Amino acid sequence: MKVTYFGTRGSCPCSSDQHRRYGGNTSCVLVEVEGEPPLILDLGTGLRALGDTLDRPLRISGLPLQATALLTHLHYDHILGLPFFSPLRVPGSILDVYGPAQEKGTLKDVLSGVVQPPFFPIHMGEFRGELRFHEIDGSDDLTFGAINVKARPIPHRGTTLGFRVEAEGRAVAYIPDHQAPLDRRSVAEEVLELCEGVDLLIHDSQYTDDEFVTMSDWGHSTVAYAVHVAAQAGARRLALFHHDPSHTDKDIDRMLSRARRLATHQHLADITAASERTPVDLGRA
């Protein structure tokens, strides 16, 4: 199993020399399993670059894309890449999107309402490729060939899912948006279920402790809480994710250093800060 980050930022994309190393695109991660179609985690602005990457081998093979996307929730930073995903310009391409059922309207209807004038020049139905939507409620266990996926509800602002992806004897948990509790100690049972013993936990770490004081109900976690969740779940690796757009590369370096200091007391040896285009090869068990 191989994981590659194409968007690691939260809230909104950003671009400057001070955001170069970790990247400025919003949430989008590619999971590759040998012999299986691409599995995409979230549809943030990183999806545009991912589309360009997937286009090259598709053009050589002459085959249209067939891929699956797992959508955690519908906040802008997790869907803005959808209309810019270049494989959907090719007839015969298929993207199956699995995402949370909505309180009002279907998942397809809600997303179609965003990808249409006056928000976007064309309607989603005008894409040459096919988008197929599948609603899930957070009690789902899904199978895509050799890939097994578990979806569970995650505390956040609005209906939000987290995912556990298992294949080739490896497991990855993807929890990009997670409202830390005020005590920053308790962990929801569903979160622990997804994270238990994973080889890689990709976890929301948007805030410092000081920032959390004034943003405690904005739906996100601190670096310290991400380390705490990883330790409680027995994760082998932790990737800090969903970097705040106001945080520069140097800010994230400092947050990573703090996470590693905290981890020495939690028996968590491997912590990184997710950066765009960086692959993580988990191999086979």
Q: Report DSSP state, residue 102.
A: P
CA distance 126 to 283: 39
Coil, strand, or helix at residue 87?
helix
Is residue 147 within 8 Å of residue 167, measured between CB atoms? yes
The confidence score (pLDDT) of residue 264 equals: 83
The confidence score (pLDDT) of residue 96 equals: 98
Buried b (16+ CB within 10 A) or exposed e, 160-185: bbbbbbbbbebbbbbbbbbbbeeebe
Q: Report DSSP state, residue 56.
A: H
| Structural domains counted in the chain | 1
The confidence score (pLDDT) of residue 285 equals: 82
Each residue's pLDDT, cut to its tens digit, for the chain (285 residues) gives: 999 999 999 999 999 999 999 999 999 999 999 999 999 999 999 999 999 999 988 888 889 999 999 999 999 999 999 999 999 999 999 999 999 999 888 999 999 999 999 999 999 999 999 999 999 999 999 999 999 999 999 999 889 999 999 999 999 999 999 999 989 899 999 999 999 999 999 999 999 999 999 999 999 999 999 999 999 999 999 999 999 999 999 999 999 999 999 988 777 879 999 999 999 999 998
**What's the CATH code of the domain at 271?**
3.60.15.10
Domain that holds residue 105: 2-281
Is residue 217 within 8 Å of residue 235, measured between CB atoms? no
